[in-house]
Amino acid sequence: MEVTERFLRYVAIHTTSDEACPDCPSTERQWELGRLLKQEMEDLGMRDLRLDEHCYVYGCIPANVPDAPAIGLIAHMDTSDAVPGAPIHPRLLRYEGGDVVLNAEKGIVMRAADYASLAGHVGKDLIVTDGTTLLGADDKAGVAEIMTLCEYLTAHPDVKHGKICVGFTPDEEIGRGADLFDVAGFGADFAYTMDGGRAWEVEYENFNAASARVLIHGFSIHPGSAKNKMRNAIRLAMEFNSMLPPSEIPECTEGYEGFYHLTAIRGEEQEAELRYIIRDHDRAKFEQKKRRMEKIAAYLNEKYGENTFDLILKDSYYNMKEKVVEKPEVLDRALNALRACGQEPVCVPIRGGTDGARLSFMGLVCPNLGTGGYNYHGVFEYACVQEMQFVVEMLKKLVTA
């Protein structure tokens, strides 16, 4: 089955995850794709197949040469809930430039002026939606590319390779994809997540990440008699936020620059709460950002009284570069595979997280590779057919012994 056909088959299955649900998987609908992938792997004659109780899918293609490393390939089955995830109505088109009308009836147009990536796809075949849902290239492009590679390898036993370990995870979009991943049972010496954008990009640097909750305990009293008595928790919350560097927010940063991002605020005079995410590629700067929040909370507690501010910090994940540089051959293999396909690789820092970061700190070094998908988490998401085909060819080079 060609990669485009597989991709269209997978995006037809609704797999949006749900952060509000504590279960794994967070939605029952992810099981449909999990069962389909296990069956397809069985039909290909793959070994050690498992669909575990949390909807993780595992399988492998045994090595046919000695002493070659066991290479893992991983993608996630769930899709983002940022916009509707179904019903998806994909359409294949040849892009000749200019704006793309996704839905004439509803006036939904993907404008070339807004999406610079389109300029690089003139004359290419794109898969788009009708503008009412996401497409699901994140990460069903990665799933389709891995499965297309598996079909090729099982049909061509003369191609020499080490053990190929395949894993498909639930709930990556809500930050839980690596939570219950069976690293030991997976059996790979190292791995790659297939979850990036441009087909020739390699990502091995990501943010260090933490969450922060600031609970503010005020004192409410009638405003007519509030002098020297009231402590308005809402105003105190505003004071806390004002003490963070105004330029270190997502709207003012790019590249390797970190930030504090206020994600939620709620409250009234008696109680208030601020929620933040803290990000920085540099581990020392990341730690400094957390210490700054602690110092602000301590200062304000001294100013307004002990226990007025409760700060709860929790680390989420760390920059995988710390682990990747310890096994440079993993990155070199990916770079060499791209060059063998005639494409100079581009290494870019991830301004976010990835399952590969979590897995790298769980003992499985795991850079992230591109899949040919664009504009993720929105109704203007699309996938380039030629790039998906290129990724399959690149994977053949990647795993060849």
CATH code of residue 45: 3.40.630.10
Q: Give the residue carrying structure tokens 């409760």.
A: 310
DSSP H helices, 176-282, are: 183-186, 233-242
Q: What is the pLDDT of residue 226?
A: 81
Distance between first and last Cα of the chain = 24
pLDDT score recorded for residue 60: 98
pLDDT at position 354, please? 83
Same domain membership, residue 226 and residue 326: no
Angle between helix 283-304 and 233-242 (nearest 10): 140
pLDDT score at 353: 78
Judge if 35 and 176 occupy the same domain: yes
Domain range holding 301?
Answer: 208-317
CATH of the domain at 248: 3.30.70.360
Average pLDDT over the chain reads 96
* Numbers of helices and strands, H then E, in the chain: 10, 18
User: How many domains, in total, are found in the chain?
Assistant: 2
Task: Confirm if 393 and 152 have CB atoms less than 8 A apart.
Answer: no
- pLDDT for res 370: 96
Residues 158 and 290 in one domain: no
Q: List the strands of the sheet with 71-76, edge to edge.
A: 47-51, 57-61, 164-169, 71-76, 190-194, 368-369, 201-203, 346-347
Q: Measured on CA atoms in the order 33, 36, 38, 44, is the torsion positive or negative?
A: negative
Same domain? For 76 and 189 the reply is: yes
Angle, helices 3-11 vs 385-399, to 10°: value is: 110
What does DSSP say about strands 71-76 and 190-194: parallel, antiparallel, or unpaired? parallel
Tokens representing residue 153 in the block: 């390898």
Give the integer Cα–Cα distance in Å for 26 and 64: 38
Last residue of a domain, one of 317, 334, 365: 317
Examine the domain organization and report whether 265 and 137 are in the same domain: no
- What is the rounded CA–CA span in Å between residue 117 and residue 375? 9
Residues 219 and 238 occupy one common structural domain: yes
What is the reported pTM?
0.90
Rounded CA gap, 89 and 74, in Å? 26
pLDDT < 70 positions in the chain: 401
**Which of 317, 348, 364 finishes a domain?**
317
Q: What sign results for the dihedral spanned by CA atoms 332, 334, 335, 340?
A: positive
Tell me, yes or no, whether 201 and 241 share the same domain. Answer: no
Place of tokens 């109680």: 271
What DSSP line would sit under 282-320, residue for residue?
SHHHHHHHHHHHHHHHHHHHHHH-TTSEEEEEEEEE--T
Nearest Cα to Cα of residue 316 among 120, 179, 148, 187: 179
Residues marked active site are found at 78, 172
Give Rg (Cα) of the chain: 24
Same domain, 100 and 153: yes
Same domain, 28 and 66: yes
- Residue reference for tokens 């792997």: 41
- Are residues 307 and 330 part of one domain? no
Does 389 lie in the same domain as 254?
no
Q: 84 and 28 in one domain?
A: yes
Tokens matching residue 32: 């449909």
* Environment class of 273 (CB within 10 Å of its CB; exposed 0-12, middle 13-18, buried 19+): middle
Among 317, 346, 374, the domain-final residue is: 317
